């Protein structure tokens, strides 16, 4: 049996949570992450956070783990979305742009948005409450 697993799947109304590890020298002010739809490159899914990161320091380099979350809105185009860019703003306002070539080695950098199921829900129980 193959243990190959596809991208995480979501539908409208689900909340997508992404954990991002950053190594940096500046103090972080804001992080912006964009995923692009593979079949429609003009369609993107965004995350933004003003981090209060947990930082571990090794010499001058800090490592921060940032959790970003965003609900899938009704207008989201179904398809596979792949990490396209990460923009990091320092507290002092300096912008660092990480593009596809900087992000190419990151494993599991895609997720899929699927169509909402068409079938009606089924009643599985009923209780009268006091």
* Helix (H/G/I), strand (E/B), else coil: 25: coil
pTM: 0.82
- Positive or negative CA dihedral for 98, 7, 80, 77? negative
98-110, pLDDT tens digit by residue? 988 888 888 889 9
What top-level class would CATH report for the domain 8-113?
Answer: mainly beta
d(CA 115, CA 11): 6
The answer to whether the beta carbons of residues 20 and 32 sit under 8 Å apart is: no
40-94, pLDDT tens digit by residue? 999 999 999 876 655 666 668 888 888 999 999 999 999 999 999 999 999 899 9
List the beta bridge partners of residue 8: 111
- Please state the rounded mean pLDDT for residues 28-41: 93
Distance of CA 114 to the CA centre of its chain: 16
d(CA 30, CA 35): 17
List the chain domain ranges: 8-113
């Amino acid at each position: 049996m193959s243990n190959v697993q596809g991208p995480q799947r979501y539908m409208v109304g689900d909340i997508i949570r992404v954990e991002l590890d950053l190594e940096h020298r500046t103090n972080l002010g804001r992080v912006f992450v964009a995923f692009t739809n593979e079949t429609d490159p003009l369609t993107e899914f965004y995350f933004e956070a003003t981090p209060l990161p947990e930082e571990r320091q090794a010499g001058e380099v800090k490592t921060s783990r940032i959790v970003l979350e965003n609900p899938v809105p009704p207008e989201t185009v179904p398809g596979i979305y792949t990490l396209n860019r990460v923009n990091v703003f320092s507290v002092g306002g300096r912008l660092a742009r990480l593009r596809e070539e900087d992000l190419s080695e990151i494993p599991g950098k895609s997720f899929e948005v699927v169509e909402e199921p068409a079938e009606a829900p089924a009643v599985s129980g009923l209780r009268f409450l006091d």
